[in-house]
Structure 1
Amino acid sequence: MTALRPFGSACEVDEPGSLSPGPGFHWMLLRRHGRRPLAVMGRGLLRADNRCAGLRWFSDIAIYETASGRFAVCLRHVIPGTADPVWCDAWLCDGADAVRHAFGGHDPLTAWPPWSAGIAWTDEPEAGRFRGAWAGLLAAVFGRTADDG
């Protein structure tokens, strides 16, 4: 029997491990900047942002448990008042360490197009505050470790 692929070939699909994964699981599309979306059958575990960091933009992260037994992580950088995120991506991770590594290895200044906020990152002290707000968000969600320096 072939499993129904709800989104066809329009996106990358994480196939569920069973046809009845349990309560709270549903199909969702996670947007990815410049790539096809990631489709997962999952349920939300965590969502956090650094919206109150006093910057002109904020970062938003979400972690989902997938029916295949993996984690889907989603990251968005947003300018308040705009309809769409300036930059977004999603990844599949095989465990909690991989989730932390996916977010920890991200540098928001290299992913976010500098022209989108109307500033030049290298010339603005606000760029340092944005990186600091990103590090603060990760510390609030994952805690600090010896790897954090």
Structure 2
Amino acid sequence: TQESLKEAKQVAAYNEAMALAKKRKKKDDGGGYLLFGDGESKARELQKLQKKQQADWCAEQMRLKDEERKREEQANRAYLKRLNDNNRALDDASRQQESQRARSRAEVLAYNEQMILAKKEKDRRDKLDQQQAKSLSIIGDKNAFRGMKKDDYQKILDEQAR
């Protein structure tokens, strides 16, 4: 009667509260049931939410730092690669320049040697020509000055020798 009616109302209120709590749990997915006027449950749920947000924020910061570190490493690798390529190019250029200098030196030395040999050959020919000219001039002089006195002939030869 009245007690059973009162008891039925309490059971109905309890069932309604549980159904409402289940709906909230499905919405929030935050953990325990929220009952009417239960401040501790709301505080726990809020703490869980804050912890989750903080963990998400930390994970995001770690991910961003990791990405930044990877970008820096990639930039460093690219810089070192460019540096090595530039050093190789400079080494190649200096080797080519050095070989060009060596070739130029060899060409100059070969040219100088040819000029020295040509000068020696020219000097030899000139000396030979001078000897032939002297002998021809002496012969010619002998023929030209036949009949002259020996002293006159010797003076002319001395002048030519000077």
TM-score normalised by the shorter chain: which range applies?
under 0.3
Instruction: Flag the structure with higher helix content.
Output: 2
Q: Which of the pair has the greater relative contact order for Cα pairs under 8 Å at 6+ separation?
A: 1
Higher strand share: 1
TM-score by length of 2: 0.19
Larger Cα-atom Rg: 2
Q: Normalized against structure 1, the TM-score is what?
A: 0.20
